[in-house]
Structure 1
Amino acid sequence: MKNIFTLSLLCISGLLFAQEEMTMEMDSSASIPVTQKYNHWSIDLGAGVQKPTRPFTEGAFMNTPSLTQADLGIRYMINNKFGLNLDLGFNYMESDDDSDLEFQSNYYRATIEGVANLGEVFGFREWTNGVNLLFHTGFGFSGLRTQEPIDGEDTDWMMNFQAGLTPQVRLSDKWAVFGDLSAIGHVRQTITWDGLSLANENRGFNSLLVNASVGVTYYFGNKQQHADWYSENVMQKLSDLEMEMDKMISDLGDDDQDGVPNYLDRDNTTESGVRVDSKGRAIDQNQNGIPDDMESALKAQYASKTDVDNAMNDNSSTAGTTMKKLINSGYINVYFEFNSAKPTTYSLGAINTIITYMQENSSANATLTGYADELGNEQYNTELSERRAKMVRDVMVAAGIDESRLTLEAGGEDTSVDKSSGNARQLVRRVTFSVD
């Protein structure tokens, strides 16, 4: 009995700790419980055998054990270690063939218990997610209804103290089977279990009933797991493993499709169709910021970087006119990656050029026209060309150019190049400028 009291105190202490933990999980600003990761409610329905040991009238006997008891548990787990249970029980007691006295009596029980999830406390989840063990203990009230009144009473009301162990086997996220072995002591029992005589004058814990049950558990809630089977450590390990797998998949991917996996790629934004080195960097032997595979095509149609730099550095009276002519002739352009409104790295110089011109010519206005290649839906490409123009405008406004000086146009698809050529398509994914 001392051991049972010790376990009970541990369970009650656990409940107090669980309550404190739940309070700590409350939102400090709104005092609302945070969203839980598991279900809390369950119903346990079991039946099995019983063994009332004392008190009995001399000469009255029952089958050992007797298959005539059932119970219903309504359980709420505060967290995945501790919870509460309302246990409702019924035992039918009758004489066996060897009894000198015939009798029938009915026993009813209602008990509030604390529940400790020993599987989580002792780390079952580290080696299994299919077997578990609960400990439960608590106090309640019981009634023994006799076949005939004893001393004018046909029902003996008493207090009960219950403790037990419940092994569980998980069937699914919603169902489990269990076994249970519970010892139930009683205080103030005045009538014997057989209902034939008064109990002795010792009305302390002189009454004992042992129940052994098997049954099923149903879990309520829309979460994947119930608190019985949830483990923070295991879920963290699964989360870490999932993150490692995601990282591995990302590392082995090739976002810019240059033939170099992401984990080796030092430039994951290279343009489609250009040659790269073993580190995924576009080959640029003269280090002018333009991939070599695109430079020849750019030189054939647009002004070189040297021409633009010379015009920008020209201090003569014709410098402004020269720069305006370069801009309006389509020599200054901002280029974009495929299906993107993000300017390519080598286009940042062109943006700086047009910003510098607008700053030095405060009366000038500019029209920004965006374009897309022919791949994809025409309406989508028109919207994409507009987004590209807006992106360049936003950069210019952020640099101090008044937005009222800038006009946007959506040029849509540029069909002036060979659609089957990747390098040619790169040249038309752009924003052009016209200044007055």
Structure 2
Amino acid sequence: MKKNLLLLSFSLLTFATVSAQDNSKKDDKKDASDAVIEHNTYNKWTVEAVAGQSKGTKPYSTGYYSSNPDKVLGSFNFNSFGLGVRYMFSPKFGLKLDGVYEKFENNEKTDSKPFETQQLRFGIQGVINAARLFNIEEQIGRLGLLIHGGFSYARFTPKLDSGIDPDLNQVGESGGVSNVDRTENNLGVMFGVSPEFRVTKRISIIGDFTTVANFRQHFAWDGHYSKQDNNLAGQLVSGSIGLTYSFGSEDLHGDWAIIEDKRLDEIDELDKRIGDLESMMNDADKDGVPDYLDVENNSIAGVAVDTKGRMVDINKNGIPDELESFLQTNYATKETVTQAAASANEEMIKRLINEGYVTTYFDTNKTKPTNVSTEGIDFMLTYLRNNPSASIDIIGNADEIGKTEYNNNLANKRAESVKAILVKAGINPNRLNVVSKGEDTSVDKDSDGARKLVRRVTFKVK
């Protein structure tokens, strides 16, 4: 049995090492420090192979002990070899089954009487991924920590040809002893911690520290059998190191895969919706109509608009009714309002144009006016037809996004585009002068709403 377990342990360790080398070559193509990859699922199965040292702490017969009582630290030798398999029901909790071969014998550097015993121990334990339990897996990167505990079953066998004194008559304070050619079955409880370090996506180095307390035990660890009816209080400690291999459909070891919390996704989605609502409720031209309903988001401040944000112009003469009323009240004669706007109020109209109230807007990186802003061009067409001696500057602007040279050229193209429209409408091109002002730096370039206001063409009457 011992030789078979040793051979199986060596085979599994060799396989894990070769796999680690192969995976390391693949990982070298990527960033070696990439310790965490996000996954919605994780590998649930893990196998492990370990080797280490086990010591029975008590009981021992008089004259027998496994370490030198005169030294704090004793010598270390591998006397235990184990194989295990673990299944994680969830990212935090799982179940582990393992088997360990252990050999106990006297230390040759001590004065202990010679003895040799062996034990085959099996365990079934619950496992807690402590890193996940405390939500620190991202902070500790490749490190990990497992806590495990459960029940053990062991078959303990003394070797009677190991030099045991047949005349020994005491096991601690338990009474008389005798050598018995038999194997004892023991049940106990066990608890341990296992620190981990991930080497590749599927392979990790694991250490383990475990203590076992048996419910009932009649053999001392040196192999002598108690004649009394009372049970001995058997205790065992074990330390080991080895390799684990995680297998499944995912690339990353199940102990390190980050599981996305669906509740966080829902919170992010709600945050996005709230952000969208806030953007929709913006009112760039301050006319009381949110941008998502405003089809004319460049209306003049203080001018009445309809439910879609359009400046009210009932008679369709190109002059908003608010301005038309102002002109009528302050400058009208007995003639019609249109005549007043064309004669007595010519300076007022010219001022409104030169101050930028008549504007045409453009989408990002576009030279064609937006559908809702062609009314500015229509207004200028009416003005030029009513004032055949007037000429104008067509002034192109752009926002600050992009290179300055490109934006200067874009502003010029926007002005040329408006000029072409007016020329096709019958205006003499000699009356139209294209001017590029390039980037307009008067607004916050990080604000989408503000940038809309400077992607425009304005006019200036000469």
State TM-score, norm by structure 2.
Answer: 0.44
Q: Which has the larger radius of gyration?
A: 2
